[in-house]
Amino acid sequence: MSAFYFIGMIGLGLVLTLVLEGVVLLPLLLKQNDKMPLAAFALVNVATNISINVIIYLVGLFGCFLDGFMSEGLRFALIVIALLLEIFVVQIEYCILKKFVEHRHLFWYVLGANALSAVVGSILLALLSSI
Amino acid sequence: MLKLLLDVISPTEEILQMLDDNWLTIVLVIVCVAVAAAAAVGIALLLRRRKNTRAEREEKDKNGRNEGQEKE
């Protein structure tokens, strides 16, 4: 994977995440009449999305380096790591956003937004990278 | 013992070659980590600001209540 491909995928992934999660969470964030929830939402997503992508990239890179190629086992390990990281991210995002947004079902909104962004984002990125 | 340890931790030709081939990616990874860290610091600052704002508001409310009681 070239360096520009890497940065393009990370940038695109971040933009897709912000748009898709924004679609779900924006009604809650705008209700607060304050810019702080919006800033918190953007910052949390920048921090978590970039971290997840870099971790997955590095694990894949070192796995390929050790195995010599992208094996089935490595692919499975990457999916498991991505899922675990995604669960961790939902927790972090919820813990931070609940300090700024008061809503009974905030956790489910955050979970839904992350699930939507993970599924749709993965499909779109896979389609784009196959072009 | 030390030689054995150095043999284990010293980078092999393969690793050096990989670092040489992917230096731009490594720089970009470091930049990404820096951006993520900056965002984390931003979140910490936002949380602190929110805490200060809330404390100030509570203080004002308390003062307002005290003044009201004194007037009564």
> pLDDT per position in chain A (131 positions), as tens?
567 777 788 888 899 999 999 999 988 888 877 888 899 999 999 999 999 988 988 888 777 777 666 677 888 888 899 899 999 999 999 999 998 888 889 999 999 999 999 898 888 877 876 76
DSSP label of A1: -
Q: Cβ separation of A50 and B18 shorter than 8 Å?
A: no
Q: Taking CA B41 as the corner, what is the angle to CA A14 and CA B47, rounded to the nearest 5 degrees?
A: 100
CA distance to partner chain A, nearest, from residue B1 (Å): 26
Per-residue pLDDT of B9-63, as tens digits, reads 666 777 777 777 778 888 888 999 999 999 999 999 999 998 888 888 888 888 8
Q: Give the minimum alpha-carbon distance from A119 to chain B in angstroms, rounded to a whole number.
A: 22
CA atoms lying within 13 Å on the CB side of residue B26: 9
The per-residue DSSP string of B18-61 comes to: HHHHTHHHHHHHHHHHHHHHHHHHHHHHHHHHHHHHHHHHHHHH
A77: enclosing H helix or E strand = helix A72-97
Q: What is the largest CA-CA distance in chain A?
A: 53
Residues in A touching B46 (Cβ below 8 Å): 36, 39-40, 43, 100
Residues of chain A contacting B40 with CB distance shorter than 8 Å? 43, 47
Q: Could you tell me if A46 lies within 8 Å of chain B, comparing CB atoms?
A: yes
- The residues, ordered by sequence, that sit 6+ positions from A94 with a Cβ below 8 Å of its Cβ are A106, A107, A110, A111
Chain B residues closer than 8 Å to A13 by CB:
none
- What six digits make up the tokens of A23? 């679609």
Residues of B in contact with A51 (CB under 8 A): 33, 36
Q: Write down the pLDDT at residue A51.
A: 92
Report pLDDT for A104: 87
Q: What pLDDT, on the 0 to 100 scale, is given for residue A96?
A: 93
Contact criterion met (CB < 8 Å) for B50 and A96? no
Q: What is the pLDDT of residue A123?
A: 87
